[in-house]
Structure 1
Amino acid sequence: MVVLATKLYVEGDARERALDSLRSLVGNEIGDLEVEFELGVRHDDFPSVTIEGDDATVARNVLREEFGEIVPDLEAGETYVGTLESWDEDGLVLDAGQPVRIPAAELGLGPGSPTQIRDRYGLVQHMPMRFVYGGSGGDGEPEAGAETPSRLADEERDRLYEWSRGDGRLNVNSATRAEVRATLNRAGHAHDYVTIERLGLLEQSVICTENTDPPGLLASIGEYLPAELRCVVP
């Protein structure tokens, strides 16, 4: 079984649509392998994939690479994926099956408070982020003997810096990629974005065209999406 590092936190019909979307995503990744799989959702909203068949080991590795994996125990110095749970003036808290605090000094994303950094880079709640575990316990306090706190992974910092150099983005949570695309097209913005990058199952990043104003796009479609929307303005 693989527990994927992306959350399924919506309810009702939206939950069924999200499960269908996840089933398709998993199928696209491992459908050519000799396996059968079954989806489940844990009590903490992380989906699990039970895999059986001749290629089960390969399939599990493919899903770990694509989504990241929630594991029972974190090892100091190793890179993992957690979802953005909360933030305050002292840092960010990621959910990696247990709370992992990234102190403000370990974000590595330039000046400003964690809240200001979140606004600058358009970080929406629940989006998956890579981090290097530093030995922090579940309450965010360092364990005895821990030499360094947890920090954002270099590849995560590079990704977010790249966002700030592009043509602008609108990040969304609580919606599948298909739902975001349908909303944009229905609102008359089919020509205002290049593509929609999937950040997680329910977290998407709309990459705007050169002449599209991300705040204007947010204002136009915000009423149609019961979601958190954040802009990245270069």
Structure 2
Amino acid sequence: MVVLATKCYVEGDARERALDGMNSLVDNDVGDLHVEWNVGVRGDDFVQVDLTGDDAEVARNVLIEEWGEIVAHDEGLEAGEEYVGTLEGWGDAGFTLDAGEEVTIAAEDIELGRGSPEQIVERFGLVQHLPMRFVQGGETEDGDHVPTKLAESEVDRLYDWQRGNGRVNVNSATRGEARATVNRAGHAQDIVTVERLGLLEQSIVCKEDTDPPGLLAAIGAYLPAEMRCVV
């Protein structure tokens, strides 16, 4: 069994579609291995995959590499180690992530340039539940104190978004739903692709001459989701 660092927080038919999509994604990742699986959701909305078969451990490692893992509470988070959590909130104090336990990244340790956490959220187009890599703070085995902060790879990813042509990030929608919404709004020719950030978090990558705020305005009526632009 493995608990993946992505959430399924929608209900009703949307939840069934999301879990059907997750099952297909697991099939893409481990379908060639000698393993059977069952996809479910924990009480805290994290996706859980139960694995059986000769290649169960290999499949588990493949899924962790692809999605990140939520470690068991009894194991705890080790200082200096990298994990994945979902962005659950932000305020003057900093970012709050959910990594199976609440993790706070202080405003001064976010390391994404000047501005308040809310301004950083707007500037980088961050949406709630976005999976993000971080390094756990505390006392290391060597006795050094390290702050909890975003991982270097995460910081690099977000700056790469800003150096690109622009994006519209959304939550509460599968990749297929986001792509279908763009098509329905008549803007298929204005995007490069829809990049999967999590099960229900997507990034619509714009073409060079596409205005992200304009695209957001065009698709907003069709997609009941939180949306932010990266420009």
TM-score under structure 1 length normalisation = 0.94
Deviations 1:23-48 (A, max 9, x none): 00011000000000011110000011
- The 8 Å contact of residues 90 and 103 in structure 1, kept in 2 or not, is answered as yes
| Richer in strand (by share) | 2
- The 8 Å contact of residues 81 and 129 in structure 1, kept in 2 or not, is answered as yes
1:133 matched to 2:167 = no
How far off is 1:148 after superposition? 2.5
Q: What's 2:215 paired with?
A: 217
How far off is 1:90 after superposition? 1.3
Count of equivalent residues: 225
CA distance in 1 between partners of 2:28 and 2:136 (Å): 30
State, as a whole percentage, how many aligned pairs show the same letter. 69
- The 8 Å contact of residues 195 and 207 in structure 1, kept in 2 or not, is answered as yes
CA distance in 2 between partners of 1:80 and 1:148 (Å): 15
Of residues 136, 146, 149, the one that matches 1:148 is 146
Deviations 1:37-81 (A, max 9, x none): 011110000011110111111100000000000002211110000
Question: In the alignment, residue 179 of structure 2 is paired with which amino acid?
Answer: R
Deviations 1:99-155 (A, max 9, x none): 10011111111100000000000000000000000139xxxxxxxx88222100000
In structure 2, list runs of 5 or more residues that go unmatched. Answer: none
Provide the alpha-carbon RMSD of the alignment: 1.1
CA distance in 2 between partners of 1:189 and 1:65 (Å): 33
Give the 4+ runs in structure 1 shifted more than 3 A. Answer: none
Q: What's 2:194 paired with?
A: 196
How far off is 1:223 after superposition? 1.0
Q: What's 1:95 paired with?
A: 98
CA distance in 1 between partners of 2:59 and 2:45 (Å): 22
Question: In the alignment, residue 190 of structure 1 is paired with which amino acid?
Answer: A
Q: What's 2:7 paired with?
A: 7
Q: What's 1:140 paired with?
A: none
TM-score under structure 2 length normalisation = 0.96
Report 1:63-78 matches (<5 A): 63-72=63-72, 73-78=76-81
- The 8 Å contact of residues 2 and 60 in structure 2, kept in 1 or not, is answered as yes
Question: In the alignment, residue 199 of structure 1 is paired with which amino acid?
Answer: L
- The 8 Å contact of residues 19 and 40 in structure 2, kept in 1 or not, is answered as no
